[in-house]
Amino acid sequence: MPAITNIEDLRVLAKRRVPRMFYDYADSGSWTESTYRANEDDFNRILFRQRVAVNMEGRSTRTTMVGQPTNMPVAIAPTGLTGMQHADGEILAARAAKAFGIPFTLSTMSICSIEDVAKGTDNHPFWFQLYVMRDRGFIERLIDRAKAANCSALVVTLDLQILGQRHKDIKNGLSAPPKLTVANMLNLMTKPQWCLGMLGTPRRQFGNIVGHVKGVENMGSLSEWTAKQFDPRLSWADVEWIKQRWGGKLILKGIQDVEDARLAVDSGADALIVSNHGGRQLDGAPSSISALPEIVEAVGRRIEVHMDGGIRSGQHVLKAVALGARGTYIGRAMLYGLGAMGQAGVEKALEIIRNELDLSMAFCGRTDITQVDKSILLPGTYPTGRAAGY
């Protein structure tokens, strides 16, 4: 196998090893995919100021996110169906995050359950991402299960009240486990390593839901339930209710607008994530990195600002931090590593990002990530904030 030196190498390998419907689920956006592409493209337009003849010894990428120490300003983002990229995928990704000393976030729509991940990581603290469903009793039980599993932060996703139209998922007939159509069977025959892994695990359905909701015991009843459950009535009053029920660190995901950022501050949350759901919801929305500076300018002194979307390298992490992000999240970069090589692939993705972050920071004349600001960027190449003060 050729040497793997960047995230793109992992993506190419994952595409060869993961069934088409699950690879496409990870590597696609909604409608025309313009926002999905802009997330990465806008990062690449930002240029660094290289500095020379400065002391580059003693570098540190260590920081904190919501008061919790992390070895770099990176967390693993919550991604649905992670356990369909590779057998037991959520457990393996959480183990990789633990090894690197960064947060792992488990999705409500994971294949491995909250309890699976807790057991698989020896009860090491991780974060849990919550979708708000109409069934409030189910939400209460999910929150209580997250507490029991020693989750140290709750991430509430606000931008999936309704589902964006994702053309590839519709054309592929996405389901977990995959429907046994002729096309899917033929594709699965070309992925023997993936198939063997799935045969060796009992985890092939949505572990946080099946068996935890009355009447949902199989994929048929699950599909019917989930189609009705994402709550279009979600409001800031629900955020307050969740905050009271949870009682711990609270992060709000899906903020793109300054006014929503101000409402996030008023909610009492500990952090917000500037995010467009990886370009999978509103196509035509701004990229996350272009939306970041205005939100930081408006509320950054009152709430911790994080961001996700388009991060494929340690240089992207450094640019986000320079523009005011306290932390960043990787979703697709992690999924590429997982699909390519399981836990070793996730660890490789994190190693690549950490090394790129460390070296790029040094070339810009900085030795401590907490001292990085926009002065390391070339003026005129990066987006700027325009918001009025809070």
Tell me, yes or no, whether 2 lies in a domain: no
Proportion of the chain above pLDDT 90, given as a percent: 87
Residue with tokens 């693993």, as numbered in its chain: 76
Amino acid at the residue 365: G
- The answer to whether 177 is annotated as binding is no
Q: Are 306 and 127 in contact (CB under 8 A)?
A: no
Does 221 have pLDDT greater than 70?
Answer: no
Tell me, yes or no, whether 339 lies in a domain: yes
Q: Are 110 and 90 in contact (CB under 8 A)?
A: yes
Q: Residue 177: is the preceding peptide bond cis (ω within 30°)?
A: yes
Tell me the CB-side half-sphere exposure of residue 62, using CA atoms within 13 A: 6
Proportion of the chain above pLDDT 70, given as a percent: 97
Tell me, yes or no, whether 375 lies in a domain: no
pLDDT digits (tens, 9 = 90+) for 130-142: 999 999 999 999 9
Task: Tell me if residue 316 is catalytic.
Answer: no
- The answer to whether 78 is annotated as binding is yes
- The answer to whether 95 is annotated as binding is no
DSSP symbol at 242 = H
- The answer to whether 309 is annotated as binding is yes
0.85 cut: is pTM over it? yes
Residue 364: which residues within 8 A CB-CB, separation 6 or more? Answer: 48, 49, 50, 51, 318, 372, 376
Task: Kindly report the backbone phi and psi dihedral angles of residue 180, in degrees, each rounded to the nearest multiple of 5, phi listed first.
Answer: -85, 65
β strands within 214-308, DSSP E? 250-255, 271-274, 304-308
pLDDT digits (tens, 9 = 90+) for 4-32: 999 999 999 999 999 999 999 999 999 99
Higher pLDDT, 239 or 231: 239
pLDDT at 384: 93
Residue 150: which residues within 8 A CB-CB, separation 6 or more? Answer: 118, 123, 124, 125, 126
CA 269 to chain centre: 18
- The answer to whether 280 is annotated as binding is yes
pLDDT at 389: 40
pLDDT digits (tens, 9 = 90+) for 306-365: 999 999 999 999 999 999 999 999 999 999 999 999 999 999 999 999 999 999 999 999
pLDDT digits (tens, 9 = 90+) for 69-88: 999 999 999 999 999 999 99
pLDDT at 388: 40
Tell me the CB-side half-sphere exposure of residue 271, using CA atoms within 13 A: 26
DSSP symbol at 230 = B
Residue 189 burial (10 A CB sphere; 0-12, 13-18, 19+): exposed
pLDDT at 181: 86
Tell me, yes or no, whether 382 lies in a domain: no
pLDDT digits (tens, 9 = 90+) for 58-71: 999 999 999 999 99
Of 56-70, 161-175, 230-244, the range with the lowest mean pLDDT is: 161-175
Tell me, yes or no, whether 369 lies in a domain: no
Of 107-111, 121-125, 169-173, the range with the lowest mean pLDDT is: 169-173
- The answer to whether 110 is annotated as binding is no
- The 8 Å CB, 24+ separation contacts for 143-148 are 143/242, 143/245, 143/246, 145/114, 145/115, 145/208, 146/114, 146/246, 147/246, 147/248
The C-alpha atoms of residue 193 and residue 145 are separated, in whole angstroms, by 33
Helix (H, G, I), strand (E, B) or coil at 273: strand
Residue with tokens 């359905």, as numbered in its chain: 205
Number of domains in the chain: 1
Residue with tokens 């509430």, as numbered in its chain: 156
Which residues on adjacent β-strands are paired with residue 251?
Answer: 155, 271
The C-alpha atoms of residue 331 and residue 308 are separated, in whole angstroms, by 8
Does 268 have pLDDT greater than 50?
Answer: yes
Selecting among 86, 277, 306, 316, the annotated active-site residue is 277
- The answer to whether 211 is annotated as binding is no
Tell me, yes or no, whether 378 lies in a domain: no
- The answer to whether 166 is annotated as binding is yes
- The answer to whether 59 is annotated as binding is no
**Mean of pLDDT over the chain:** 94
- The answer to whether 45 is annotated as binding is no
- The answer to whether 332 is annotated as binding is yes
Q: Residues 235, 236, 242, 248: is their CA dihedral positive or negative?
A: positive
For residue 186, what are its two tokens?
């033929």
- Mean pLDDT along residues 145-162: 97
Range of the domain at 95: 7-46+68-358
Sequential DSSP letters for 69-124: EESSSEEEPP-TTGGGTSTTHHHHHHHHHHHHT--BEE-TT-SS-HHHHHHHTTT-
Task: Write the CATH number for 310.
Answer: 3.20.20.70
Tell me, yes or no, whether 216 lies in a domain: yes
Give the pLDDT band of residue 38 (cuts 50, 70, 90): very high
Helices 136-148 and 236-246 pack at an angle, to 10 degrees, of 40
Q: Residues 351, 352, 354, 358: is their CA dihedral positive or negative?
A: positive
Q: Are 366 and 386 in contact (CB under 8 A)?
A: no
Task: Kindly report the backbone phi and psi dihedral angles of residue 272, in degrees, each rounded to the nearest multiple of 5, phi listed first.
Answer: -125, 155
Tell me, yes or no, whether 343 lies in a domain: yes
